[in-house]
Amino acid sequence: MIGSLFGQIGLFLTALFLGATLVLPFNGGYVLAYALMVLTVLLVVGLVAARTRWVIGPAGWCFIAAFVLIGIAFSIHGDALMAVNFAFLLALIPLVNWFSRYAAPDSAVVVSWVAFVGTLVSAVTALREVSWLGNSRAEGWWSDPIWAAEAALVLGFLSLVAFPAMRSRWRFVLLLGPAIGLGVVALSGSRGPLVAAPVIALALMLTSFRPWWKQIVALGVVVVIAGAVMLPFAPKVLTRLERTTTVIVQLVTTGTIKEKSAGARLAFWKAGTAAFVDSPWVGYGWSKRVRSAYQYLPDKGKAFDAKGSGLRGNHHLHADILDMGVSAGVMGLAAYGLILLAPLLGALRSARDSQYAARVTGAVVLSVGYFACGLTYLMFGYEFHTTLYVGLAAIILGFCRDAPPAPRERVSPAG
């Protein structure tokens, strides 16, 4: 009786974690991140109570190594407590072990369809904010337009996790996932995720989708459909997106950018690179990275701190490479590489079962997606995307497999 009750509670918590992670990122923001942390604690308690043998696996070792490197680099600058910002990376190990207990032959299909529902929910929220509430940019709840758009884009591409192995004609509906995710990005007015989308698509075509020309034709069609359906609800969004072309032309022809938003990012790149070159091994510490980079600007960052500036109170360098490099030097960049490598290594080293391709597809979306989005914004080191990345990686590596591991199985559920 008691065992049955615990089993039902465990199944409920698993479904709750899956649903929250795959459906609510655009709507949940920081609140979702904290909720997933609480759920993770409950799942760890469940693993301990069940006396489950934990397997670390390649992905888990990558995260452990990354956390150690970050902790050492930060400690050198008296910033050891700031390593807590990356502590959730270690949660991958118990989460993968937990989700592997509920693995089944159709897990990847479940993940694809639930992620697709999450993309639809994101689109409904974005349309409501822009067309009904009159907001200039869709930003979800408890987040910001860029982070929310990145989450919706990743969810859209995760809809394709099971696509390579599916045979049902309904699988073509899943191709709408990336298109709808792009629509949400457009409604958010966020250009960084818009640039990241073709990078993710190219990576998938080179790895998971062959022959790729059929998929690219189908994807092109649904992108046009998504744009035709969603953009009329937000005509002002087009103006912001059109400025992207102007920014690119200015950068190529003159090396400078007049637009404030893109110009600020170029300034961050120059200042951050200069700061890194002057302290390449261990950086300046997480809490000092922004101010340290500002010292390499002509005005020491006074324009950014001025009253009325859109970047007043700015707390990051708008690129993961800069934030990790300036805060922790080469050690930080190595940690960043390990964080991005973890899902890919875990998937590639996993058992060659019927869902192997699904795990590789999901890992490509996560690793390439977070890298591409992180070129123009911060993804790791704050609660929202750090928690979401770990949760999604655990689902891909632990849940998307044919069967739970045997008690003495040597193959790691984390890869």
pLDDT in tens, the chain (415 residues): 555 767 788 899 999 999 999 999 999 999 999 999 999 999 999 999 888 889 999 999 999 999 999 999 999 999 999 999 999 999 999 999 999 999 999 999 999 999 999 999 999 999 899 888 888 888 888 888 999 999 999 999 999 999 888 888 888 889 889 989 988 998 888 888 888 888 998 888 888 776 656 666 666 666 676 666 666 665 555 665 565 555 555 555 555 555 666 777 788 888 999 999 999 998 999 999 999 999 998 888 888 888 767 777 788 999 999 999 999 999 999 999 999 999 999 999 999 999 999 999 999 999 999 999 999 999 999 999 999 999 999 999 999 999 886 654 444 445 5
CA distance 164 to 208: 7
- Whether residue 371 lies inside any domain: the answer is yes
Angle of CA points 287, 288, 289, to nearest 5°:
100
- Whether residue 36 lies inside any domain: the answer is yes
- Whether residue 156 lies inside any domain: the answer is yes
Angle of CA points 54, 31, 44, to nearest 5°:
15
Domain extent for 35: 2-238+317-399
CA distance 271 to 223: 37
How many other CB atoms are there within 10 angstroms of residue 389's CB atom?
24
Domain count, the chain: 1
Instruction: Report CA Rg, the chain.
Output: 21
Contact 303, 353 (CB under 8 A): no
Residue of 414, 372, 400 lying closest to 95 (CA atoms): 414
- Whether residue 409 lies inside any domain: the answer is no
Per-position DSSP letters for 175-186, written without gaps between them:
GHHHHHHHHHHH
* Torsion 128-132-138-143 (CA) sign: negative
- Whether residue 267 lies inside any domain: the answer is no
- Whether residue 139 lies inside any domain: the answer is yes
Residue of 103, 50, 11, 40 lying closest to 350 (CA atoms): 103
Contact 361, 355 (CB under 8 A): no
**Residue 299: DSSP 8-state:** T
- Whether residue 289 lies inside any domain: the answer is no
CA dist 376 → 169, 265, 284, 347 (Å):
37, 7, 21, 27
CA distance 343 to 324: 19
- Whether residue 259 lies inside any domain: the answer is no
pTM: 0.91
CA distance 335 to 66: 4
Q: 């509670």: which residue's tokens?
A: 9
